[in-house]
Amino acid sequence: MNESWLSNFSSAASSFARGGVGLQEVLVGLVLTLIDVVTLLGNTVVFLCPVVEKRLRTVTYMFIMSLAMADFLVACLVMPFSIIYEVTGMWLFGKLFCKVWISFDVMFCTASIVTLCFISLDRYCSVVTPYHYSRRICIVMTCTVWVYSSLISFLPVMQGWNEIPGVDFDAGRECIFVTNWVFAIVASALAFFLPFMVMCSMYFFIYRASRLKATRIMSQTLEIHYHPNSKRQNHLQLENKATRTISIIISVFVLCWLPYFVLNVWLAARGSDSTSTVLLGTFKIITWLGYCNSTINPLLYMYFLTFHMKNSDILEAICYILMELIHSWIIIFRMSIF
């Protein structure tokens, strides 16, 4: 495996020396690297915010931290290798790590969508019922998400359940997620479409319950007028704002990942007829559209923070975290030199 990796690396280096990587590849690499760095920093800030601000240590934010962790791992373990693959035009890390890399990709996407599904259940309980998840239940649910995501990704990919008999690729130069149509449909259903249907159902019930509550509030206008700062009214407004924000997060996730899953199933159904350059190029773009969801999410999380903190407090917390990160990186850099 080491010899294969060194051979691939030498081939890529020779390609660079011969000018095989042009201006377009360099520009693409710079843009994708910028996306990766922004994703890494943004999700690091989101993940560390509760360390600085105790008001964020809520059950809902625990789910958001699970989402941020999935996005952070995409930036660490998926994007960098994809960037190298795109720029050099060849896979440098061997067939075994190709499977591991694909498994990470599937795992983190599945973790995101199932976590969003549990968030919709949390929102339903907060808005529609008097029941609220305890921290212990939230931790159990989060662990369940990651175990489920691991089983749906590493187990089938490492066992080769996704492969098509007689169809293979050059493992020394390529890393392609070959999927038969049965695996594509089952995996897409378990990882995306079924959780998506659950989320849609939950938000339909939430919307209907919110409309009923709004009607009751309108009938109590006189009481609210005399008690504009009542705890009940403030709590209801906070829950509705949080629900709207989570709805936006889910909508953005669907817009980013739905094209990928639809095209993935369609390409698997077409089989060997789906190997045209245009289709493969489109698939790469749609895949990176899904990755960009990990870049967008931290901006949406910052909006969620405004329900618990003042803008000045948020800015102060972000600056503090960034300064601590920069300080840590400087120390690590100095230690690596000396």
The residue-averaged pLDDT of 224-242 equals 54
Amino acid at 267: L
Residue 206's H or E segment, with its range, is: helix 194-219
Condensed to tens digits (0 to 9), the pLDDT of residues 126-177 reads 777 666 667 888 888 899 999 999 999 999 999 988 887 776 666 667 888 8
Q: Please say if the pLDDT value at position 25 is more than 60.
A: yes
Q: Determine the pLDDT at residue 218.
A: 52
Arithmetic mean of pLDDT over the chain: 76
Q: Which residue has the higher pLDDT, 210 or 28?
A: 28
Q: Determine the pLDDT at residue 286.
A: 92
Q: Please say if the pLDDT value at position 92 is more than 60.
A: yes
Compute CA distances 144 → 110, 126, 191, 201, 202, whole Å.
Answer: 12, 21, 14, 21, 20
* Number of structural domains in the chain: 1
Q: Which residue has the higher pLDDT, 114 or 250?
A: 114
Cα–Cα nearest to 48, from 314, 338, 333, 334: 314
Kindly report the backbone phi and psi dihedral angles of residue 225, in degrees, each rounded to the nearest multiple of 5, phi listed first: -65, -40
3-state class (DSSP) for residue 16: helix
Name, in order, each residue with C-beta under 8 angstroms of 71's C-beta and a sequence gap of 6 or more: 39, 42, 43, 108, 112, 293, 294, 295, 297, 298
End-to-end alpha carbon distance in the chain: 32
Per-residue confidence band for 248, with pLDDT thresholds at 50, 70 and 90: confident
Q: Which residue has the higher pLDDT, 223 or 68?
A: 68
Per-residue confidence band for 7, with pLDDT thresholds at 50, 70 and 90: very low
**Contact call for residues 36 and 75 (beta carbons, < 8 A):** yes
Among 104-113, 217-226, 327-336, where is mean pLDDT lowest? 217-226
DSSP labels, 103-167: HHHHHHHHHHHHHHHHHHHHHHHHHTSS----HHHHHHHHHHHHHHHHHHHHHHHHHTTT--TT-
| Token reading at 3 | 């010899």
Q: Please say if the pLDDT value at position 79 is more than 90.
A: yes
Domain span at residue 331 reads 2-337
Which domain CATH number covers 161?
1.20.1070.10
Q: Please say if the pLDDT value at position 192 is more than 60.
A: yes
Q: Which residue has the higher pLDDT, 317 or 149?
A: 149
